[in-house]
Amino acid sequence: MNRQIIKILRTLPAVILLVSISSVMLMVLSRHVKIEVTSLNEISIPTDETEVPPLIITAFPRTKYTKTIPTIPIETTTLGNATVKPRVLFDEIINPHPYRYKRIPSRVCKSTGNQVHPRLLILVKSNVFQIGHRMAIRATWGNFTNSSIQIAFLLGDSPLITSFTKMEYDLYEDMVQEDFMDEYKNNTLKTIMGFNWAVSDCSQAKFVLFVDDDYYVNIPLLLDLIENITESEDENVFIGFKYEHAVVRRKKESKWYVSTDEYPNKHWPPYISGGSMLLSMDVVKEISKTFPHVKQIFIDDVYLGIVAEILNITLTHDKRFEVKYVPEKLDTLITSHDYGSPNVLVHEWNIDDDEDDAISTVEQNSRT
């Protein structure tokens, strides 16, 4: 059995106690705290003309970044008798990020104590309360010994769980956390934090996978995808499940309501589902550099789509970045969304391990 898994199993009693105490605390505070788990693909309702682009694995169209940020190149919308274009300013900082780090990982990148620069950096967006999800990831697909892959969790803050977050960090030292409140409306702040930290502390990584904590990730298939990206194509990579012609929600009772003052167009620009997306570091750097000049939208993946449109970055659709959980296809999907509880993830992982062991045994017996 893998030594790291044995090590994790030894810590499970303490962690189970930690999670149990946390659950009791959350039950007591449930009258005052509302925690929502959201399927990011639900924010968009594609129009009838929406077409799913073909699967592209190795062909990444090359485009050059504009040296100056142009007017956002998407549709105009007629509101009443006035034609309105998106109101985004580019000549000043209109989206500052004044938050401070509370915790950063150790031994993830070379600048933080790791011996080598990772080729692939995985940043998991996680609600600070989701201790169970993070534990399940550490024990399953996030548990690898390949030094060219490193993982860290992106968290906001909550005074309700500070002591537990500190205990978790002291055990694993794999979290990036700033002092903004961890809530759904601050998802874009968490995404900006992740981009900025990757650029400042891990800029030598070739690729960054951003993924939510309720996703299953097939690491071997992800590495195969990266290996198929040749050196001439390993720039301007922004790949995942792409949405086009998504309608902006205008009903105030909608969770994803955005007013015409915030964004006047009828449709969002094309964007990659924020649940799982693979980017090359050059794209991460360009987007991070542009954040301060683009008005923030609280829906993080459409905000990234706006920034990508401004920078003329090509978005590549790959249907293997699944936005639903399809357990029978886990061996053919790169990512799969909403596995439910941490127990389900661990269960599916153990089934895969048992099947791999059985195949290995058969192969060994056939050789003898």
Residue 136, C-beta contacts closer than 8 angstroms, at least 6 positions apart: 342, 343, 345, 346
207's tokens? 């690729």
pTM for the structure as a whole = 0.76
Reported confidence tier of residue 111, pLDDT bands at 50, 70, 90 = confident
Helix intervals (H) in the chain: 3-29, 131-139, 162-172, 187-201, 219-227, 281-290, 300-311, 342-367
pLDDT for residue 240 is more than 60: yes
- In eight-state DSSP terms, residue 216 is E
Per-residue CA distances from 220 to 99, 116, 132, 149, 335 (Å): 36, 21, 24, 11, 11
113's tokens? 């104590």
* Average predicted confidence (pLDDT) for the chain: 78
> Rounded to an integer, what distance in angstroms lies between the CA atom of residue 220 and that of residue 214?
19
List, for residues 146-194, the tens digit of each pLDDT value: 889 999 999 999 999 999 999 999 999 999 999 999 999 999 999 999 9
Tell me yes or no: is domain 3-367 CATH 3.90.550.50: yes
Residue 125's φ and ψ, nearest 5 degrees, are -75, 120
Check if the beta carbon of residue 55 is closer than 8 Å to that of residue 254. Answer: no
pLDDT for residue 6 is more than 60: no
So what's the pLDDT on residue 208? 98
> Rounded to an integer, what distance in angstroms lies between the CA atom of residue 365 and that of residue 362?
5
- Residue 362 in 3-state DSSP? helix
Reported confidence tier of residue 115, pLDDT bands at 50, 70, 90 = confident
pLDDT for residue 277 is more than 90: yes
Reported confidence tier of residue 82, pLDDT bands at 50, 70, 90 = very low
List, for residues 313-365, the tens digit of each pLDDT value: 999 999 999 998 888 888 999 999 988 889 888 988 887 654 454 334 334 44
pLDDT for residue 83 is more than 70: no
Mean pLDDT of 281-309: 96
Mean pLDDT of 252-268: 93
